[in-house]
Amino acid sequence: MHAADLADATVYLNGRFVPLAEACVPVLDRGFLFGDGVYEVIPVYAGRPLRLDEHLVRLARSLDATAIPDPHSVAGWAALLDEVIERNGSGDMALYLQVTRGVAAKRDHAIAPGLQPTVFAMPMPLAPRPAEVASHGIAAVTLPDTRWDLCHIKAITLLPNVLLKHEAAARGAAEALLVRDGQVLEGTASNVFAVLDGALLTPPLAPAMLPGVTRALVLELAAANGIACREGPLPQARLGDCSELWISSSTREVSPVTTLDGKPVGDGRPGPLWRRVDALYQAFKDALRRGA
């Protein structure tokens, strides 16, 4: 799916497949009024979703944590998303899936009983990683974490993330690494990995962090290929000691951070361990495309 194709995309909304331009929700939807909903983003390669089961498990956890009824079984979600993929060409794309609490009779903070969740799914272009990311890496900055304390819920209330990402962009950076109580947690839309003391390290999961599906895949690939890797605290004070820094997400894959707060990370180039893990990740994607 190419960026130009988005205007012609077919989306799913509450039981119907319609052109994107015709998809509308009432203004009293609680997702619109309160950000009362959750979402997932699932990469798709050659029509095959990457780690669909893991994404659906995380969706179910987010729905449970927000007391929004899950409108579908796992099989139901899979069938729905398969049809979105098929109706949009079955190529490479990202699926955006959003579930809100639904439409209430009036704007009220209190949750009325019996609301029917609003379910929306659409394809998005999944652009290939820019060549300069692999050759030069990206710039990042560290910023204080101003988000709420329940970031393990993949909620649609993302204004703090948006503002932090905007501040990073204003500083000439592609991402911000968020710091709370002196510890690096994650990015605005990514998880963080560091090569420190010769080993791969990622901050441990906590309510203040999103359990990234790509993060889990990187840990799995590392373990399966004899790469020393552990979950543990990443103090901000030790960022200058890291020989490599990476971010990971479903749409950005694993990207090397080569400049942090205006200073080079390591020698200022994508490092050898990143190149090895990225090769493993690309091989995993290629196997998915082949249906292996």
As a whole number of angstroms, the distance between CA 127 and CA 18 comes to 24
Q: Dump the DSSP string for 2-60.
A: -GGGGGG-EEEETTEEEEGGG----TTBHHHHH--EEEEEEEEETTEETTHHHHHHHHH
Q: Where are the beta strands (DSSP E) in the chain?
A: 10-13, 16-19, 37-45, 48-49, 93-100, 118-124, 138-144, 175-180, 183-187, 191-196, 199-202, 229-231, 244-249, 253-260, 263-264
Reply yes or no on whether 154 is catalytic.
yes
In this structure, the strands spanning 253-260 and 138-144 are parallel
Q: Where are the beta strands (DSSP E) in 71-131?
A: 93-100, 118-124
As a whole number of angstroms, the distance between CA 198 and CA 191 comes to 20
Amino acid at 244: E
Structure tokens that stand for 97 in this block = 């899936």
Active-site residue identified among 154, 165, 263, 285? 154
CB 151: neighbour CB atoms within 10 A? 20
User: 142 pairs with which residues across the strands?
Assistant: 177
Identify the three-state secondary structure at position 252: coil
Amino acid at 122: M
Active site residues: 154
